[in-house]
Structure 1
C-alpha cells in the first residue's frame, strides 16, 4: 500500500500493526526497534475519549520521531511486484506516568509518507490521527444515516450533488453532537433556528408556555435524542449520532408541518 502510486498531494498516515523490516541508520532492523531507539522530540497531552474499555482521561504522552526510515519490501513479495523499499517518517506516541486501575497504557506507532522533519510536524500527524474517530463518525453518518451507498442515480454529476447535500447534513449532525459535549451550557440557538427550538420545546413539554430564553444546548440535544429512541437513563451517557439522526429527522418533519400549516405562535 505504501508503494502504490498516489495522486499528487495525497499522503498516507497509518497506525502500524506489523513489525516490518526497515533499513535505518543502524543498518537492517525492525520497525518497533527503530522507533524505540529514536530520540524523544517532545511531550504532549491528549484527551482520550471514553470507550467501552476505557474511561475518558487526559494522558501525558512522549513523542519519538524518526524522520527518515526505509521500510523494506516484504519477503513474500516478488521483486517485480513491489519496490525494494519505501521512505517514510515514523512517530511513536507512548503514554507516561501512572495509569488508573486496570487501564492499559496507550501506545501508537504512526507511519507517514509525508516527511516529518521536526516536533511540530510530528505533532500535526498525531493530531490528525486523534481526529480519526470524528472522521469515522462522519462517514458512518453518510453511509448509515443518509444511506448514500443506496442511491440509485444514473449519472455521476447527480451523485456528486447528492453527496454534497448529504455532507452538509452529516456535518451539522456531528457539529451538534460534539458541541453539546464541549459547551453544553450554550443556548441551543447556536445549532437550532427559532422554529426548531420552539417546536422541540412544545413536543417535550406539551401544554406549557415557551420560556423567555431558549434552553441550553445539552437539554436540546437530549430532547432531540429522545425523539430518536434515546432512553436517557443515568448510565446511558451522551447520546450518539444514530439516535440524534433519527430524532433530528423527526424534528424536521414537525417543523415542516408547523411552517406549512402556518400554526400561530406556540
Structure 2
C-alpha cells in the first residue's frame, strides 16, 4: 500500500506526458513519495543565479497563498515556464504541493483560471526546447492533477485512520507506517506499537527486527531524521521548532543525530540544499 502514491503519480505522468515534483509537508507522504526535486535542464538553467528564489516561489511563498489555489492553478515560474500546481489538503492541513510540467506557455492563458505567477527573468533561453501547450491541454491536466490530489488525500486518510489491516499491508509496511504516523509524538514508542499489533513489547521488538532487519529505535530515528531533512529542504521552519515536530526531545540531541547521519548540521544542510 505504500507504493500507491508513487504509482498514482506515475500513471498521471504517463497519461499527461508531464513530470511531477512534490513538496512534502507530511511524514506519511514523505515515506511514500519519491518525486521531490526539480531536475529538468530548463529548471537547472533557471537556477544558475540562485536556486533559493525558485525554491521560495515553489514552496515557501506558496504555502501562505495556498488557500487562493485550493482547487489548483497554473504556475508561471521566474523562467516563464508553465506548470500546473495543486495543494493537497487534509482539512486545513497542507500535506504536499504538487507541481506538474514543463510546458512553454501560450501567449494568452484562459482568463477564468487562477495563475500563480513569479516576477519574470525574460530570458527566452530558459524555455527553449519545451513543448508548447494550448487551452485544451491546460484544462485537462489541471483536472487530472486535481484527481491525483484527491487520490493522494484518500490514501493518506486511509493510512492515517488505520483503514488498512495487516491483511492489506505487509507487516513490515504496517510497522513503518505506524512509526511514520507517530514521528512527532513522544508517545509513539515501542509500547504504543506493541499495543497496536496486540503483542507484548518484547515480542514487538523481536518482530520489528525480524520483519525489517532493523531495531525499533533505528527505524524511528531514521524516520525522524528523513522527515527532518525533508522539512529543512521544503520549509523555513526554525530548527528548534522543526526538531520538536520531528519528535526530538532536545535540540542538542537532534543536532548530534542529524550531523552523524548527514555529516552536516541542520543549518549547513539547509544552506547546501539552497545552493544546489
TM-score (norm 2): 0.29
Higher relative contact order (CA 8 A, sep 6+): 2
- Look at both structures and tell me which one has the larger radius of gyration over its CA atoms: 1
Instruction: Please state which structure has a larger fraction of its residues in helix.
Output: 2
